Structure 1
């Protein structure tokens, strides 16, 4: 099972996005500091500002959400999911694009972390 940690600004908002919008299941929550959600064989650790993962590094750098690393969530109907997420106010980094393996789009979670939605084709 793959485990990915995402830094988030608001654990409750992240839980709502991943569970309600993307079909993850809430497995555990540690107050406002962290939550664990899962879908299929992916476990996502949502670490808020109070989590140990958000502490400054020895060189002073501050971990923060919103980079370009991402996990890929394979979906059956990208058009319908994008329409649903758009109606819910989700932010997309790009329109749906078609490549050699299928179609993809990058949606942001409430903290600005990228999630790639991919439909093989």
Structure 2
């Protein structure tokens, strides 16, 4: 049986800039051909579909609302040493919305990709 794949779509302002960001900072790999309207990147069983304003996913809804980047829905990446990962990413110029927060389930921080989409970096409590 093959490994399950999860697709996550992010609306982005600049497809190439977002593609480069996920490849450079989190080790995603480009998948298939890319265009100014759309690209896909993968890391393990996760495929990110990066859709720009000119992609079919960027078309206005029947009520006129326009899909756009940002918001609070997010992809979560799990790390064994969150503090070290955050330090590495800050050194690479990654922006964060907050500082590391800790709770009963673990610790988390929210990184912003160039279009303003959120990526949650998480360390489960059992690892710390």
Q: TM-score, normalised by structure 2?
A: 0.89
Partner residue, 1:23: 27
Structure 1 residues 76-85 or 106-115, which shifts more?
Answer: 76-85
Matches within 5 A, 1:46-61: 46-61=50-65
The equivalent position to 2:67 in structure 1, one of 63, 67, 91, is: 63
Matches within 5 A, 1:36-115: 36-115=40-119
CA distance in 2, matches of 1:25, 1:32: 17
Q: TM-score, normalised by structure 1?
A: 0.94
Q: Which protein is bigger by CA-based radius of gyration?
A: 2
Structure 2 residue ranges without an equivalent (≥5): none
1:30, distance to aligned residue in structure 2 (A): 2.8
Residues 91-119 of structure 1: CA deviation (Å, up to 9, x unaligned):
11110011111111000011000010001
Partner residue, 2:123: 119
Partner residue, 2:38: 34
How many residue pairs get matched?
Answer: 121
Structure 1 residue ranges without an equivalent (≥5): none
Does the residue aligned with 1:83 lie in a helix, a strand or coil? helix
For the aligned residues, what is the CA RMSD? 1.1
